[in-house]
């Protein structure tokens, strides 16, 4: 049996004054899938998401959600989609509870739904606080609360944690993970944060200049485009490059300072690190700094484009 995807995007493009913001994108999103759209500023993420939300019309191509489209089935789609835009403006002079009650009334939901949502977004203690007095993180939680009031099957979140401190970001992640586990919600999230995409999402789609550069799980993407692990070192004495070539498992050395500071791409840290350390010991080399890490999505993006995600 051929089970169709929850969202099917076929060859969509969108230009602004001749500039292609989204360039012939094809994408399927499955039921209960959490998908991250990751890319630098101006990559086309918001434009793509706004077309899925029905807020912008593609110049060409089609988007179908549960085999329905915005032209013919707008009210159905509004019922199954919850959105949180990059900047959500609420009325400052309303409390958290009043804001949720108001949005709930659009869906004919009762006060008990507001109670449930306050609990879900962990803002029960702030229910009487005016929106103007909320912190950035609390506002983002309220925006998420409004997006999930009507129990949407699909969440479309545009940079939901931009500008938040790490604690507030973590709290929002927890809420989103619970939604996935308890309600089976699907989500498309745009983000600049690699850790966010890696932590929350089953699948990562990297976008640059309106096109999809890569699509897969974090492990798949790293294995295909940026295999290996990283050992960085800085030493006091000058090393000859050839000597390092004798150490097993080093695939590539990038010298940041000739002979003293380098980033080594290795097949496995566990294999190469002991050899490197014993080489330093045997040759009385003083180590000033040593760091080991797995490759990140930023390494991946740099490998693909020659630029950092945060440039």
Ligand X SMILES: Nc1ncnc2c1ncn2[C@@H]1O[C@H](COP(=O)(O)OP(=O)(O)OP(=O)(O)O)[C@@H](O)[C@H]1O
Binding site for ligand X (CB under 6 A): 16, 21, 39, 41-47
- Minimum CB distance to ligand X, residue 287 (Å): 39
Rank residues 210 and 228 by Cβ distance to ligand X and give the closer one: 210
Rank residues 39 and 58 by Cβ distance to ligand X and give the closer one: 39
Rank residues 50 and 229 by Cβ distance to ligand X and give the closer one: 50
Rank residues 21 and 297 by Cβ distance to ligand X and give the closer one: 21
Cα 88–Cα 38–Cα 304 angle in degrees, nearest 5: 155
> Residue 169 contacts by C-beta under 8 Å, 6 or more apart in sequence?
137, 161, 193, 196
- Minimum CB distance to ligand X, residue 41 (Å): 4
Which is nearest to 219 in space by CA: 297, 308, 301, 298?
A: 297
- Minimum CB distance to ligand X, residue 100 (Å): 27
Give the other-Cβ count within 10 Å of 99's Cβ.
Answer: 21
What tokens were used for 13? 């493009």
Q: How far apart are CA 237 and CA 30, in angstroms?
A: 54
- Minimum CB distance to ligand X, residue 212 (Å): 12
Q: How far apart are CA 187 and CA 189, in angstroms?
A: 6
Q: How far apart are CA 37 and CA 205, in angstroms?
A: 5
Kindly report the backbone phi and psi dihedral angles of residue 301, in degrees, each rounded to the nearest multiple of 5, phi listed first.
-65, -40
- Minimum CB distance to ligand X, residue 52 (Å): 12
Residue owning tokens 């929002």:
172
Rank residues 47 and 120 by Cβ distance to ligand X and give the closer one: 47
């Amino acid at each position: 049996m051929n089970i169709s995807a929850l969202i099917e995007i076929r060859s969509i493009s969108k230009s602004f004054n001749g500039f292609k913001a989204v360039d012939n994108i094809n994408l399927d999103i499955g039921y209960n899938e959490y998908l991250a759209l990751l890319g630098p500023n101006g990559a086309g993420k918001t434009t793509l998401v706004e077309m899925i939300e029905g807020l912008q019309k593609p110049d060409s191509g089609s988007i179908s959600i549960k085999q329905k489209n915005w032209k013919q089935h707008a009210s159905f789609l509004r019922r199954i989609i919850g959105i949180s835009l990059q900047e959500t403006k609420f009325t400052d002079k309303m409390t958290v509870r009043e804001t949720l009650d108001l949005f709930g009334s659009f869906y004919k939901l009762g006060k008990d739904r507001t109670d449930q949502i306050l609990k879900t977004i962990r803002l029960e203690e702030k229910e009487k606080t005016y929106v103007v007095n909320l912190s950035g993180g609390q506002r983002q939680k309220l925006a998420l609360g409004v997006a999930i009031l009507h129990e949407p099957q699909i969440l479309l979140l545009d940079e939901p944690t931009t500008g938040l401190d790490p604690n507030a970001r973590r709290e929002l992640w927890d809420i989103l993970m619970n939604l996935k586990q308890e309600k089976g919600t699907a989500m498309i999230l745009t983000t600049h944060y690699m850790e966010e995409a890696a932590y929350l999402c089953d699948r990562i789609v990297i976008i640059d200049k309106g096109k999809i550069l890569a699509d897969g799980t974090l492990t798949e993407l790293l294995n295909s485009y940026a295999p290996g692990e990283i050992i960085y070192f800085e030493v006091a004495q000058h090393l000859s490059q050839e000597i390092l070539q004798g150490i097993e498992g080093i695939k590539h050395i990038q010298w940041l300072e000739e002979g003293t500071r380098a980033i080594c791409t290795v097949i496995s840290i566990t294999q190469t690190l002991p050899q490197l350390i014993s080489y330093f010991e045997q040759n009385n080399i003083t180590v000033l700094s040593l760091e080991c890490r797995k490759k990140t999505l930023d390494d991946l993006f740099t490998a693909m484009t020659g630029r950092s995600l945060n440039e």
